[in-house]
Amino acid sequence: VFSPLSLAVLSLSVLSLCPSLSLSLSLQSYQSLSSISVSSDLPSIVVRPLQYFGDVSKTVSELREKLEDFLKGEWTKISTTVNIVDVVLPPEPKTREQLLQYSWQLTLDPNTARTHLSLSEGNRKVTFTGQVQPYPDHPDRFTNQWQVLCREGLSGRCYWEVEWTGDVITAVSYKDISRTGSGNGFGFNNKSWSLQCYSGSYCFRHNNVETKVPGPQSSRVGVYLDHKAGTLSFYSVSDTMTLLHRVQTTFTQPLYPGFGSIVIMKLLSWLNCSGVHIDTSHAGVVYS
């Protein structure tokens, strides 16, 4: 049980810390309670009136309720401020230099590659060889599509570029895309989005809906993902940069870059955001 003096100190402390509280408590009640005489002779037992304990309990309850109300109000202000800061994002990149600020180092996952696809250069290059590769059995491996996924699941702002020859599909996919069956090709289901790059033409596909895409031909394609904003953009990259196609949707899972129908495809690396290219070689085996 708190003494009258300690309760008075507690009240003054709360008032000094929380000036916005309007406490209608009278310190006179504490003075009247403290006037009850206590004998200095020991031993002694002081019996307080029941009303005394009732007043103390009521006072503490009022203080607690008012303090809780105050703290709830302050916490709401803090939460609102944090939410406002959280939604402030940099403007969407418009130039290649700005896009390269979000460049992402990707690596191909050998556990997903179909057996006729050969990975090289630190799992950053894939080539169709026409020969079965000595990959171990793995549940993540595509069994009837010439496809491979990257290891990295992306959920922020990311940009990457690929160089290709032949016919190639560059895509993003949810990790739980089927690895077997006829409907697991990139773009032929609702779990993947793909740009098919052929000699002389482009084609975008999602959920087996095909869209012809005009644009300049180039052996290099750039892909920009803003997962939170739900945008996916494909670019033709040469001396100039041309937007080929942009998707506006809602992504519900991290996205994994993927590639299919490959002759030769190579992920590009960058030393820094200024776009210094580490390796531009096109070595590889092309099947006949």
| Residue environment code for 4-43, b if the CB has 16+ CB neighbours within 10 A, otherwise e | beebbeebeebeeebeeeeeebeeeebeebeeeeeeeeee
Q: For residue 192, with 0-12 CB atoms within 10 Å meaning exposed, 13-18 middle and 19 or more buried, which class applies?
A: buried
* Residue 9 is assigned to a structural domain of this protein: no
CATH number at residue 192: 2.60.120.920
pLDDT at 244: 96
Distance, in Å, from the CA atom of 94 to the CA atom of 80, rounded to the nearest integer, reads 31
* Banded pLDDT at 149 (limits 50, 70, 90): very high
Residue 146 has pLDDT above 80, yes or no: yes
Distance, in Å, from the CA atom of 227 to the CA atom of 252, rounded to the nearest integer, reads 9
* Residue 2 is assigned to a structural domain of this protein: no
CB under 8 Å to 284, separation ≥6 — which residues?
120, 125, 127, 165, 264, 266
Of 191-205, 217-231, 264-278, the poorest mean pLDDT is in 264-278
* Residue 183 is assigned to a structural domain of this protein: yes
Question: Cβ distance 200 to 218 under 8 Å?
Answer: no
Strand order in the sheet with 192-198: 147-149, 256-260, 168-173, 192-198, 201-206, 209-213
pLDDT, mean of residues 74-99:
70
Distance, in Å, from the CA atom of 144 to the CA atom of 183, rounded to the nearest integer, reads 10
* Residue 280 is assigned to a structural domain of this protein: no
* Residue 48 is assigned to a structural domain of this protein: no
* Residue 139 is assigned to a structural domain of this protein: yes
- Which is nearest to 64 in space by CA: 32, 21, 1? 21
* Residue 160 is assigned to a structural domain of this protein: yes
* Residue 45 is assigned to a structural domain of this protein: no
pTM for this prediction: 0.64
pLDDT at 76: 64
* Banded pLDDT at 269 (limits 50, 70, 90): low
pLDDT at 87: 55
The residue segments making up the domain with residue 150 are 96-267
- Which is nearest to 160 in space by CA: 90, 229, 224, 76? 224
Higher pLDDT, 122 or 44: 122
* Banded pLDDT at 276 (limits 50, 70, 90): very low
The pair phi, psi for residue 5, each rounded to 5°, is -65, -45
pLDDT at 30: 45
Number of domains in the chain: 1
Q: How many residues does the chain have?
A: 288
